Amino acid sequence: MLRCALRAAALVGGLALWCGGAFGAGIEVTARSPRELTVNLADAEGGRLYRVTLRHADHRFVWENLTPDGEGMVRLRDDKHLRPEYRLQCESRVSRDDPVVFDDLRKSAVVGKRRRRFGVPVSTFGGPGYLVPGVSDLKRDDFGGFWLYMDRPPYAVLKYDPEWGYQFALLTPGRVLAHDLDAKGSLYLLHPGNWVSKHGPLGAALGAWELPFGREPGEFVSASGLAIDRDAGFVYLADETLGRVQRFDLDLELRPFRQTAWGWIGREDLAYRRVGEYNAATMYYQLDRPRQLTLDGKGNLFVGCEHYVSKFDLATGGQVEFGHSPVLGWGGTFTDSAFSRSAGLDGHWQRQWLAGVDGSGNVYIADRENEFVVNPRVQVFDPEGVLVRAVDIEDNVQDELGNRVCVTAVRGLAASGDAVWLVDAAGRVYESRAGLVSGGRLFLGPGAAGRQFDLSDAAERELEVEVQDGRLEHRAEGVVMAYPGGESETGNCEREGRPGLADGETSMWAPTRLGAPFEVSLFEADGEEIPRSDYLVELEETPGLFGTQYDYFRVTNRSGRPWNGVRFIAKTVE
């Protein structure tokens, strides 16, 4: 029985024709793992191409152009071999000729592109869900569970078990400034507006406190950071306006720290320091706009300030020398400005995320803002404040299976013993057992409830195989928007995050969602093909930072004349 299907495989009406025959024999699964199935097509013929469909619950996954080996074996791998099925059109698109930008929940603040607030994942794995953000805050409780704060609307804290099995999502009314867990696994959230909420290990609301406004002990002007000492049962809260950190019990009753100099009490007139200034003789205990707090499990509290990190001994309240100054600041010595080109050097920064401290006392600092780095970094400093290494998305970090890990700036990471966990730019969690190095394990990925579909759950009865009449080609068609260099508006969904244009050039990023390598051709409104010498096409071949592999391409007009109604056709290639 022949079946022909006209598949909508493109984002703006591009079509791929598929005609094939039903396959008579069944499929035997010979090996399975969460990311790969090995199946036997018993009656497969040499030289023929096959298509396999998995229909599991509400999901439908498709592998195409499969060539079995001599024994009829093929491997069904994860989404880079699958065709995306879920698409959402841009809200500003009012006609078929308008450009389309597909939505997803953004993984991070990105250069050159901007996702809209709500949407669907670009991965074929899963239906409506989300993509784990690259800039994220991750905590691990004492029972091995993970709590991931997703700093993109809809704001939520996501709970996972020790093996990254999804448990639930705790939606919040808005952005969360900080979160941490007590020894019983209860979650504390610090919200804007000076209030704290408490939730049980299963997400149940256990209470809320409105922090009193003022400058006296126990009062706040701008609560900004939170950390919990699980052993002692204390909550530490920072105030970025008053430049101080105060200590409370788990019921948010003030437990004043022993006064040392003035640092834990705070003085508003000393809370804002000139950029580049640090005087070790006069600035002990002084905190400049503290926002992030983290503990190392060895009795020390680290305070992330505007441009430096301070370290305190919780037993005495005394400041511990950490770095050259004796705080860890940009460049280590404060001899240059945080807004000079030196801020782009390894060991330097402008504004930072205090991402965490591992079991060996190494401190992880990520770029929160830095105009002199192209790729945001995670920098690792030893317990003495000496730079160990700096890692970004260009570094060749690989997991134990050889998959590339796309490291970018993170707001927070989890640590336990010699292991660290952080979210990479491809929406996965990377576990490394010896600091931020290769050889660890990858978990999750894009998809429903933040997890890829587990292929090991697939039953043989859910698999269908069909013969292809030839190699399948998918295509996408759309309009290339062209603007003079320096223009600030694009009139489509990328108007807030369009890449900068060089003078005299025009370009835009366009989505394709073909899920495979492809080539792009351009045509005039009358259908005449534009010579390749008139434009440059850049494919986004790096998976991660902006989405799935081959998520976008960019066309730059080099013809020297304005474009009007130029269309593109993108086609998959072998």
What is the DSSP track for 271-292?
A: S-PPTT---TTT-TT--SS--E
Is the pLDDT confidence value at 489 over 90?
Answer: no
DSSP character string of 498-511 = PPP--TT-EEEEEE
Is the pLDDT confidence value at 180 over 90?
Answer: yes
How far is Cα 33 from Cα 54, in angstroms, rounded to an integer? 15
DSSP 450: G
How far is Cα 451 from Cα 551, in angstroms, rounded to an integer? 19
Q: Is 369 exposed, middle or buried (0-12, 13-18, 19+ CB in 10 A)?
A: middle
The region of weakest confidence among 4-13, 400-409, 516-525 is 4-13
The region of weakest confidence among 109-123, 271-285, 382-396, 560-574 is 109-123
Task: List the domain boundaries for the chain.
Answer: 475-572
Higher pLDDT, 249 or 542: 249
Higher pLDDT, 419 or 337: 419
How far is Cα 17 from Cα 229, in angstroms, rounded to an integer? 61
DSSP 45: P
Mean pLDDT of the chain: 74
Is the pLDDT confidence value at 117 over 60?
Answer: no
The region of weakest confidence among 28-42, 335-349, 438-452 is 438-452
pLDDT, position 508:
53
pLDDT band at 150 (very low <50, low <70, confident <90, very high): confident
pLDDT band at 259 (very low <50, low <70, confident <90, very high): low
pLDDT band at 266 (very low <50, low <70, confident <90, very high): low
pLDDT of 293-316, one tens digit each? 999 999 999 999 888 899 998 888
The vertex-79 CA angle with 73 and 83, nearest 5°, equals: 95
Distances (CA, A) of 316 to 237, 260, 403: 18, 9, 46
pLDDT band at 540 (very low <50, low <70, confident <90, very high): low
Distances (CA, A) of 195 to 72, 188, 210, 535: 62, 10, 4, 54
pLDDT band at 133 (very low <50, low <70, confident <90, very high): very low
Q: What is the largest CA-CA distance in the chain?
A: 86
pLDDT, position 242:
86
Q: What CATH topology corresponds to 475-572? A: Immunoglobulin-like (2.60.40)
Is the pLDDT confidence value at 110 over 60?
Answer: no
Closest CA to 194 of 215, 216, 220: 220
Residue 221 CB neighbour total at 10 angstroms: 18
Q: What is the enclosing helix (H) or strand (E) of 369?
A: strand 363-369
Tokens of 423: 């979210």
Higher pLDDT, 135 or 324: 324
Across 427-435, average pLDDT = 86
Is the pLDDT confidence value at 23 over 60?
Answer: no
pLDDT, position 233:
96
pLDDT band at 423 (very low <50, low <70, confident <90, very high): confident
Is the pLDDT confidence value at 244 over 60?
Answer: yes
pLDDT, position 497:
33
pLDDT, position 511:
56
This prediction's pTM: 0.65
Closest CA to 82 of 399, 550, 419, 412: 550
Across 141-166, average pLDDT = 85
Is the pLDDT confidence value at 132 over 60?
Answer: no
